[in-house]
Amino acid sequence: MSELIQAITMPKWGLAMSEGLVTAWHVELSAEVQRGQELVDIETEKIVNVFESPASGILRRRLVAVGDTVPVGALLGVVASEAVSDTEIDAHIEKFNAEFADVLAARADEEVHGPEPEVLDVAGRAARYLAMGEGNGVPLLLLHGFGGDLNNWLFNQPTLAVERRVFALDLPGHGGSAKVLAGVGVEALADDVAGFVAAAELSSLHLAGHSLGGAVAIELARRTPQQVRSLTLIASAGLGQDIDAEYIRGFIAAGRRKDLKPWIERLFADTSLVRRDMLDDILKFKRLDHVTDILTSIADSVFAGGHQALVLRDTLAALDMPRQVIWGAQDRIIPASHSEGLPSAVGVHVLDGAGHMVHMEKAAEVTALIEKLMDSA
């Protein structure tokens, strides 16, 4: 019966997360729950977000109360069918907790923190990336947006890596990648990403890009359509001229937490997701040498005159691989209307209750859509 019992455990959101605080349960004990349904709110040092159920069934146990803080991997609850007896569930919980005690001991002894970012040399410049997964599926490359980094995929990458190798890359000038650029336009950024793909020996891959990373992904797919198996664009740049130029200017100029916060809140439909540590991490990046100049140069090129300089709708239409766009209905940076009027072969998904960071606010739904498109390829 063990295969009918699903353990719900504290997720790991980001490299630094070691524990989480349960702030709310959204499903009552003994209630039916569906995979992807909002299950429990979890607060970490960096972010508060809802954890969506990885399984369908009946919530037979809730093992962590609101207000409790438990380590990553700890048992939060158990989902099982009515056919499973209470005795079987109790035995499963006892076995899980005994094995988890050994896991915690190993962490303490070996300081196991999971995968760490690595660096590849691309044309003499450092490209930082995080790789997860060892499956046999075609690898997936994730490209973040303007001012972001590989941690923008912290809610998606672990699940996507179950069946394949998944690479989250810091774009040139961002995160831990080199702060020296060969060029600042979409084409130049795509040159560097293509160099990473070659250096990582990714002869075939799926692509998913958010915001600026979406435009870079379109350009990369245009150059090597035989190499790209599927293309997912999330709140993508390059599909229309509109963009919140005020946000771009405000993000670049902000040098203090109180100045930065209102601009970062503009990225989310739920502004409570913006935590102090999130702001501090962004400020730490922005204070690195040359970062302000690099962001300004990219913005002046890609968002010249307060508009998107490069519109790639025709390029997207001409591509042959499975393609989709995903948008948050409440996106205040790039309007969801840019998803309209695309060819019927391009899947369109507009998710309510999410803003520009839709892959963080609706992580389970976005992850499932990426997986479905990759499977179709």
218-277: per-residue pLDDT in tens? 999 999 999 999 999 999 999 999 999 999 999 999 999 999 999 999 999 999 888 888
pLDDT class for 114, splitting at 50, 70, 90? low
Here the contacts of 257-263 (C-beta below 8 Å, separation 24 or greater) are: 257/283
pLDDT at position 110, please?
47
pLDDT of 113 over the 70 cut: no
pLDDT at position 194, please?
97
Tell me the average pLDDT across 55-72.
93
* CATH of 2-110 given 3.40.640.10, 3.40.190.10, 2.60.40.10, 2.40.50.100: 2.40.50.100
pLDDT class for 102, splitting at 50, 70, 90? confident
CATH number attached to the domain at 118-376 = 3.40.50.1820
pLDDT of 2 over the 60 cut: no
pLDDT at position 13, please?
79
Phi, psi dihedrals of residue 281, rounded to the nearest 5°:
-65, -40
Query: pLDDT of 277-307, one tens digit each?
Result: 899 999 999 999 999 999 999 999 999 999 9
Ranges of each domain in the chain: 2-110, 118-376
